[in-house]
Structure 1
């Protein structure tokens, strides 16, 4: 039986251009050390390299079984928690991907998700990386969870496809700019509401490569209400959710059953 009550920690990481990848990983690792009593921990998008550090992508890229994933596999095992380590630049053959990874309490890799919608507005991501091509839904002790990344939030059909695969919760890893913060808040709430799912997001903060990041990581319930959220500084959003609410809400207001397309 899936675990119903889940303690969640969304880690909102500040990106500092003067930090190296190794220094940032070590600093964030210390932030995670106090989260051993949480069930699920989420980190942001390409936070170790820094999403907007495009000139570092290829030289800091790693294979799926590289140092980054080994490190967070061990971290998940040590904490005894599910750890969504955010995303990193994955190298496979001649291709590079924006790949997120989820580990279980034993440090086993539950699954990965390659970002499907690559951002091209003031971003080199679409030139440097190859997109993923399959909606990701993973089986966990909490039930089925859909993974997505940042710009994916603008494409509702992805989340509806995940719901059709049985997802009850969405995990969104992101490096969303402050310039479009209103859109971020809207999409977080809309994707949860229209699919009657919980949504947990982790966004970056700080100013990097002249881009101010938006923060406001949040946990949104199936009514589209942000039950916990952050501001614009480095912090950890901590809350507890009851996944049993999903079925009761879907029974009370059965909009998904009323679909005609």
Structure 2
């Protein structure tokens, strides 16, 4: 299974439309990949809270339609990151996953809204249900940035059959050590593959952490980015999940 995690620089001088155009051109270079992952609220910019409501879109809006077409063109599963979704008078941090035909497999509304130096919790409404989606690769669990700090969410997804975690994020450099730790821990403790995509660059005076990565079920980082915009590519063998769970059956040994 060929994986590509796209790490996107968030530049304050770029408009949403310009960034979508630039990133779309990068995606055009990724034909032949099976799964592509993008960061959290990368088009608007996570820390551009003043733009959230004005750039929000409904689930059938232009952002979703554009990346539906892109997934179909690439013939790949595309996790287009998250965007600010408008539904009625509420706003959500919503992740979207498309299949190879460009069909929307499902969505995930961020459950744990970040409130430490962030206005996200004041503007947005949290999601209520952990997302586990059926794909040709098996069940995939979706989560967003701050969700990574809550192991119960990931264990809930494993209990629903998830074997792959996709994490879209806008994690700052200030807490990079935590980011690296949680990527490894969530994969290791659940014996799953974890693919994360984080933002890079500096936006609204916040330096982003980068270091998008792919972690295997042993907790080994098999591919990782640095601090700058790049694309992390690697291949994973999904049989490794069941092999590891057979040899070291920790999930069967749970008593709580």
TM range (shorter): over 0.9
TM (norm. structure 2) is 1.00
Shift of 1:207: 0.5
Matches within 5 A, 1:41-190: 41-190=36-185
Equivalent pairs, count: 256
- Take 2:135 and 2:251, find their aligned partners in 1: how far apart are those partners? 23
Deviations 1:31-88 (A, max 9, x none): 0001110000000000000000000000000000000000000000000000000000
Q: Where do 5+ consecutive residues of structure 1 fail to align?
A: 1-5
- Take 1:240 and 1:155, find their aligned partners in 2: how far apart are those partners? 27
Shift of 1:22: 0.1
- Take 2:128 and 2:206, find their aligned partners in 1: how far apart are those partners? 28
Quote the residue 1:3 is aligned against: none
- Take 2:178 and 2:220, find their aligned partners in 1: how far apart are those partners? 15
Of the three residues 229, 234, 254, the one matched with 2:249 is 254
Deviations 1:63-114 (A, max 9, x none): 0000000000000000000000000000000100000000000000000000
TM (norm. structure 1) is 0.98
- Take 1:11 and 1:246, find their aligned partners in 2: how far apart are those partners? 24
- Take 2:156 and 2:231, find their aligned partners in 1: how far apart are those partners? 30
SS in 1 for 2:236: strand
- Take 2:37 and 2:243, find their aligned partners in 1: how far apart are those partners? 26
Runs of 4 or more above 2 Å deviation: none
Q: Where do 5+ consecutive residues of structure 2 fail to align?
A: none
- Take 2:63 and 2:26, find their aligned partners in 1: how far apart are those partners? 16
